Structure 1
Amino acid sequence: MRRIRYEHVGGPESLFLEEVPVPEPGNGELLIRTEAIGVTLPVVRAMREAAQPVPLGGELAGEVVRVGDGVSGYTPGDRVTGICFGHGYAEYALLHTAMASPVPTDATAKDAVALVRSGVVALGALEAARPEDGESVLVTAAASGVGHLALQLARLRGAARAVAAVGDPSKAGFVRTLGADAVVTYEQQGWGAPVDIVLDAVGGTLLTPAVKALAPGGRLVAFSSGGGSVNAHDLLVGGKSAIGFQVAIVARTQPQRYAGWIRELWRLFGEGALRPVVHAEFALADAARAHATIEARGNQGKVVLIP
């Protein structure tokens, strides 16, 4: 089978295609013939920041072709999606049942990789803020795979005003179609009227203006892999709070809650209330172009590899 790998820490130019044997599923694992693979910013960043090369994992969707020992509830022919922590940029990949979920018959593999992982992050981050009807929400990286779902979910959860923060003003039209009432860019000195909640997917130096954008008593939910720090004094003077959210912790410690989020996402999708958008599709051999698109922050929606 074909697989994408890299041997030296670096950018997209480090990726190469190789031929390797099809892996065997271990205990509790499914062997998946991949139909779609989601490209995420954390994986792209890991290529540049990891101490040594790591498997290119992440979200995938496809058909079960073989099951390992101890597997129940899945059989060959089932269509599933989930998070792969091993080599996921491949024609066949291993998926542990703890991180797998069924794909409805009326959904495509592209729908699944655009909706489930990014949607769980967006929904989990929003719930971490404990939103109330009528509050206002600002989403950074609002045109990203997670951000474009977070905007929609904020409105579905009763936000009276939704603000989209983007790096490029050319994305304004896209985020407005998803429910944004206002659009701001990172370079602006101020982000308009204060908001009750900021969902931050960027981190780094953007955390300071994100805290400033909060109204008194507002909540910042940080779920980015970009790091950064928050000034405690900025929180204190406005009675604001900063909350860290990581979906992997919920998946490990609260599996029923995690599964409930997935069911909710599919329900909203099935009703037509939540619309995952695929910005671009790339062949597996073009993974470098997919990574370059993410690094340039040029995407409006999800970037997907199609083996």
Structure 2
Amino acid sequence: MAEERVMLVDGMALLFRGYFANSYGGYIRKTKAGLPTNAVFGFVKYLLDACKTFNPTHIVCCWDLGSKTFRTDKFDGYKANRPAAPTDLIPQFDLVKEVVTGFNIPNISFPGYEADDCIGTLSRQLSEHMEVLVLTGDHDMLQLVDERVKVIIMKKGASNYAVYDAEKLLEEKQLTAKQFIDLKGLIGDTSDNYPGVKGIGEKTATKLLVEYVSIEGILDNLEQLPKGVKAKIEAEIDMLHLCRELATISCDAPVSCLPDDCFWQPDHAKIFTMFEELEFNSLVKDVSRFIAVS
């Protein structure tokens, strides 16, 4: 019997990637009735490819719910730079969850928390039972890596993944998963709109963490730092601590999922009917090939 492994899917990462990958030239895939489906089409292709590549026995899909979270309560500017979702994408937010349900995969989210927090929480819960694979395009998730949790970063191109365990993370980034949180505290995150310490880039931050291990270690050794680096950190200590809080994925969100609730057992007939309704004719062949070998 194959070893059990659960794939925790960052739903929004796949959906947005699917939208932009299938809207080039301004063309938006739609049903004959005019319902936009390009993002959902891309989502399904990415999901099936990941299933074929990593062969999970269990799957969960996690989602964001709106823009207000416990992080916006701490920092008004958090993600305030995000543009509004494209008009053609909006009706696909509910549609993609219907499709996930049609695959017999649970959708999990909770008000005030991001998909990252749901994934972090479930990774801790489910790693007690099986190996955990986190499927995302978001490098913030690297902080979740541990002995039982691997993070799969989707890269450009079909079937192109970077799989991080603790060894790979240390080899490529020179940091542990916990240090990755401190890195984001130091350098901030432009996509999430929090600044970190002004003037401290990734190269300098990584060097500091390799030498002093943590933000606390850096602060305990301020007198040893170059004068310019010391001045920058001293001027932004409060922001440094706040940014580390914003960067930290919560692993105690009020969500749960038992292994029996997320066993991957697709209903073939249900999927074919769903694809016919969505006019995903080319994917019928893809899913047929996949199911034949799964």
Point out which structure has higher relative CO (alpha carbons under 8 A, 6+ apart). Answer: 2
Q: Could you state the TM-score of these two structures normalised by the residue count of structure 2?
A: 0.30
Q: Could you state the TM-score of these two structures normalised by the residue count of structure 1?
A: 0.29
Kindly name which structure, 1 or 2, has the bigger radius of gyration based on alpha carbons.
2
